A and B are shown apart, each in its own frame.
Chain A
Amino acid sequence: MQPLHHIAWHLPENLDFQNLQLSLADRFAFKRETENKKVCRWYDTFDWRLFQSNHILTREGQDWILQDLAGRRVDKLRGGRKIYRFSRDFPQSSLRDTLTPILSVRALIELGSADIYTQRLNILNGDKKTVAQVELKKITPKHNDRQLATIRLQEVRGYANWLKKIKKHLLALNISEQTTPSDILLFIAESSGRTPLDYSSKYDVPLDPEMTSRDAAVRIYRFLLAAIRKNEQGVLDDIDSEFLHDLRVAVRRTRSAITLLRGVLSPEIEGRFKEEFKYIGAITGSVRDLDVYLLNRDSYGKKLPERLRSGLDIFFDDLAERRRREQRKMVRTMRGPRYQRILDEWESILSSDAETVAGEKETIPISELAGKIIHKRFRKVLRDGKKIHADTQDEELHRLRIECKKLRYSLEFFSSLYDPKRIQQFIRQLKMLQDNLGDFNDLSVQQHMLADLLSHIRPGTVKARELAAAIGGLMTGLFLRHQDVRTRFEKTFAHFSREKNLALYHALFG
């Protein structure tokens, strides 16, 4: 069956609802429904996951409404009085099922709110049957005195000719600029200082091959500093774990860039800020470690029989409490003088063109320096990787993981200087190797966590014994997978260092 048509326009400023209704009344009979006024709030994650997946989520009172960007209703839920932040906070519903994979670990934040005044007109035929609906809306954002007025026309099945007639009438009134709910979202976001897709955790800094190394470095550092700053508030307010994660990634990238680009800035500055960013990494580390544990909470719960879960709860509640303390401590430190000074001074160095800031390599074209850096990193990964065999210590694999990360960062920093298709292809190859090493690391972190958990169980009760046994089972599972990932390393590395990939490398970087 054909879906019903609907279409919406901006209402020109010189046309108020009164005049519009008078004009419609010349041509059409209609019945005014009782007008209504309500507050509507718009939500998305900080990195616009809903918007990116073509969704708009709003709440009016207790009603949550999910639409697509074109304004088709996707789902609706009458919620409770509580405001839901994570998808898991929503009651069991198809809406929650839709949101869960999109939001993943991210929290919803309010993008803005508005008063919405709605007036519905039912257009009637000679039998006083509704044959089309006209909806007038006035949207007044909080904290903003600009208004948006829209008119929406909705088809009633079987009366398409009426839609045409009304459309023609509206066009004659100079109503022609179409609008969708995404325009309203833009308008609302703008009134609270945001624009869709204004934040993404993806690294994206295009460079010119002709640029001096210093200009390129400054561009990279600036982007990363901006990422740190954008995530700060979310970290302080503890909105979700991704703010801290993204902040730490930007810090790690900055440290890595300082090392890779050694000699572009003055040695004193490089030496000092390597230490400073290491400090930021350190003061944020323990909260992140606890986050990683806590993010596993649900998946572990599901792996244990229902009646043993309370044993897990004690452990995880304890972790959550520890995290609360660490978070408070971290917030105090971040609000303290050293953290702020680091970023302020780093910023002023990045905007200075003083000679004192410059290092010996500052004028080398970045394309030249980039090639050297990548060569060095790649050779190191190849050399270290080849040395690993069946009885190498786990420690070596962890070191290789770090080396791969450095290579990955250098590829990302300089990818815009190379053939985009090939470099993506090469990064994909590297990623396969990194995935193997990442899984290996992940599984050992998880084993540590379970060992930790095991040591927290107070012996004595039957339940405690059963829980210990169940955790033992999980640990065995993890151990076996750990072994499996470990044995697959050699194959994965051989794949990475095979002739074809080396040829690709040389085609890219000479």
Chain B
Amino acid sequence: MAVIAVYNIKGGVGKTATSVNLAYLSADSGNKTLLCDMDPQGSASYYFRIKAPKKFNADKLLKGGKAVLKNIRGTDYPNLDLLPADFTYRNLDLALDDCKKSTKRISTILKPLVKEYDTIFLDCPPNITLLSENIFKAADILLIPFIPTTLSLLSFQQLLNFFKKTGIDRKKLYVFFSMVEKRKRMHLDMMARFQGRKRVLKQPVPFLADVEKMGIFRKPVLEIAPNSPAARSYRLLWREVEKIVAQKQ
């Protein structure tokens, strides 16, 4: 059993693409898997053609228990369920602030789900907020898609500082290279600097047009083009993540 949050302070780094494809692979290898779409934009839900039920909203999420279970939807793929995001999630921070134990709320909400699923993925919105702090605490593994640029390095430093300040276990952090472009000098240099470090995964996900097709077909890239280089890199990435999950147990 593992809760894997895919997170980065920066937007547009491939968090959703990663959550969707890794959740698909987790389910495909026989784990009962739940993908929680935590982003009010609801991109993950969109890729699975799932709309949040009309009665579902941020308050229902924070209530937890049955209110959450009732709103889980089966995807088109065996073993894979999704908790859709609602637009009201954009106010989650304020609502969380009103809760008791405001940084542990998401952990509490996940508790009954942990009994039902082998793996839970959280697709997170960017920025450091009360919601992200909640997620850092709830997750066993924090998977950071990292575009190998100097700018990313700065924001990663920011994240480490936040962890230090709040005293959250930094051993949860795992970084992998996302949207890598081999033609870019800077990408290669940056990767060379980090390659081989502890908690930096070996398998990068290159920048590939097939991943973008997910928006058109509204399917994981593993369904659209199962033999493509994009599918292959997600598969190898999942194999690495799987090993980390196994070690944590």
Q: Which of A's residues lie within 8 Å of B, judged by CB?
A: 1-2, 4, 122, 127-130, 155-159
Chain B hits for A155, CB < 8 A: 74
Residues of A within 8 A of B218 (CB): 127-128
Q: Nearest chain B CB to A207's CB is how many angstroms away?
A: 55
Tell me whether B72 is interfacial, beta carbon within 8 Å.
Answer: yes
Q: Which residues of A contact B49 (CB under 8 A)?
A: 127-129
Q: Find the B residue at minimum CB distance from A155.
A: B74
Q: Given the complex, which residues of B lie within 8 Å of A130, measured CB to CB?
A: 76
Cβ-based interface call for B15 (8 A): no
Report whether A157 and B76 are in contact in the complex, using a CB–CB cutoff of 8 Å. Answer: no
Whether A1 pairs with B69 at a CB distance below 8 angstroms is yes
Where chain A touches its partner, the secondary structure class is loop
Contact B74 A157 (CB under 8 A): yes
**Count the B residues whose beta carbon is within 8 Å of the partner chain — how many?**
14
Among residues 124 to 142 in chain B, which have CB atoms less than 8 Å away from a CB atom of chain A?
A: none
**In the docked arrangement, what's the CA distance between A296 and B72, Å?**
52
When C-beta atoms are compared, the residue in chain A nearest to B113 turns out to be A1
Chain B positions within 8 Å of A156 at CB level: 73-74
In the complex where A127-B49, A127-B51, A129-B50 touch, is A159 in contact with B74 (Cβ < 8 A)? yes
What mask results when residues 4 to 16 of chain B are scored 1 for a CB within 8 Å of chain A, else 0?
A: 0000000000000
A454 to chain B, nearest CB (A): 48
How many angstroms between the C-alpha atoms of A156 and B51 in the bound complex? 14
| 10 pairs from A and B in contact (CB 8 Å cutoff) | A127-B49, A128-B218, A129-B49, A130-B76, A155-B74, A156-B73, A157-B81, A158-B71, A158-B72, A159-B73
Q: Give bound CA distance, A341 to B79, whole Å.
A: 61
Cβ of A128: which chain B residues have Cβ within 8 Å of it?
49, 218
* B215: interface (CB < 8 Å): no
User: Which chain B residue shows the least CB distance to A122?
Assistant: B76
Q: How far is the CB of B226 from chain A (nearest CB, A)?
A: 15
Nearest chain A residue, comparing its CB with the CB of B117 = A1
Q: Which of B53, B76, B116 contacts A158 (CB 8 A)?
A: B53
- Asked if B234 is at the interface of the complex by the 8 Å CB criterion, the answer is no
CB-based contact A129/B48 at 8 Å: yes
Instruction: Check B76–A1 contact: CB distance below 8 A.
Output: no
Residues of B within 8 A of A127 (CB): 49-51, 218
Please, what's the 1-or-0 string for B71-92, where 1 marks a CB less than 8 Å from any CB in chain A? Answer: 1111010000100000000000
Q: Which residues of A contact B73 (CB under 8 A)?
A: 156-159
Interface string of B23-52 (1 = CB under 8 A from A): 000000000000000000000000011110
B53 to A, closest residue via Cβ: A158
- CA distance in complex: A204, B15 (Å): 68
Q: Residue of A at shortest CB range from B48? A: A129
Find chain B residues with CB under 8 A from A122 CB: 76
Q: Which residues of A contact B69 (CB under 8 A)?
A: 1-2
